[in-house]
Amino acid sequence: EVFIAATSAMTATLLSNPLEVVKTRFQLQGELRAKGLYTIHYKNFFHAIYVIAKVDGLSALQKGLVPALWHQLFMNGIRLSGFQIAEERKWNQNSNGEISLIKTSLIAAAMGAVTAYTGSPFYLVKIQLQAQSSHSIAVGTQHAINGTFPTLRNIYKTQGLQGLWRGCTGSLPRRCIGSATQLSSFTVCKDLLANNEVYSIPRGYLNSFVASMIGGIAVTAVMCPLDTISTRLYNQGVDSKGKGILYSSYLDCVRKMYKTEGLFSFYKGVVPFYIRTGPHTVLVLVIWDALKDASKKFKIQKI
């Protein structure tokens, strides 16, 4: 189950990582500065791709790919496989055999909470690498890091074990709510489409595609503000004691963003967020479904 889940997530990440880089840059642009008081390096999604490729080269669009892949292994590999086990044991069903939205959401949220911690160190490095750029187009705090594991070792040496999990408190609500929204909407929508034989393909991949698209929209609406807060917390610099320089806590980040940048600051990068999250959600969940079906057929053939 872990192999199937991790493979689907890591495959999707290979294609969606450039979109993640663009999203991260938008979320950090104008950090804690009022509108009109900062330079706009990235005007829109396509302009951001052009600027990044022009200044830092095409390879810059894949910044943070290695920690992103490791993050998917320790996050979606565990989250999706855990959810699959719960599905197979019918823990998300009512006594009459129907899919329960509440049970599905709770299981998905629980898996999201667990993986907010398991994948946090790699997510920390990923965010900081994706924010890293030439001075002329830099946004947010710039970290002088190079490589995933050397960076993790350095953080451990200078900040201790807790430094590797810095920012995970900001990731917890994002993972819980995002996971519950994504997997519950995907599971319930796919079940409805299959039971009503929409497209005449019961439980087919077209159902998975439509359900995952709906899941992507739902995730974007709910998660964008949480994702922006999480990005800010992970990317901020720290003092000699490992304490955040810009934000002392999750609520402090929310307060400062609202006070200096306004309500819409929580939706910075919403377009690249969906352009990234929509396809990524579709790829992960459709590939996951396909691999699960292939695994079931293989097990049946062995029997």
What DSSP assignment string belongs to 85-130?
A: HHHHTTTTB-TTSPBPHHHHHHHHHHHHHHHHHHTHHHHHHHHHHH
Please list the pLDDT of the chain residue by residue as tens digits (303 residues): 788 888 888 998 998 999 999 999 999 999 999 999 999 999 999 999 999 999 999 999 999 999 999 999 999 999 999 999 999 999 999 999 889 999 999 999 999 999 999 999 999 999 999 999 999 999 999 999 989 999 999 999 999 999 999 999 889 999 999 899 888 887 887 777 777 765 544 455 666 667 667 766 777 888 899 999 999 999 999 998 889 999 999 999 999 999 999 999 999 999 888 888 777 777 787 788 888 888 777 766 665
C-alpha span between 62 and 209 (Å, rounded): 26
Write down the pLDDT at residue 286. 77
| Number of structural domains found in the chain | 1
- The domain of 208 spans 2-302
Question: Closest Cα partner for 104 from 86, 120, 116, 88?
Answer: 86
CATH number where 240 lies: 1.50.40.10
What's this model's pTM, rounded to 2 decimal places? 0.88
C-alpha span between 151 and 147 (Å, rounded): 6
C-alpha span between 74 and 65 (Å, rounded): 14
Q: CB–CB of 295/53 below 8 Å?
A: no
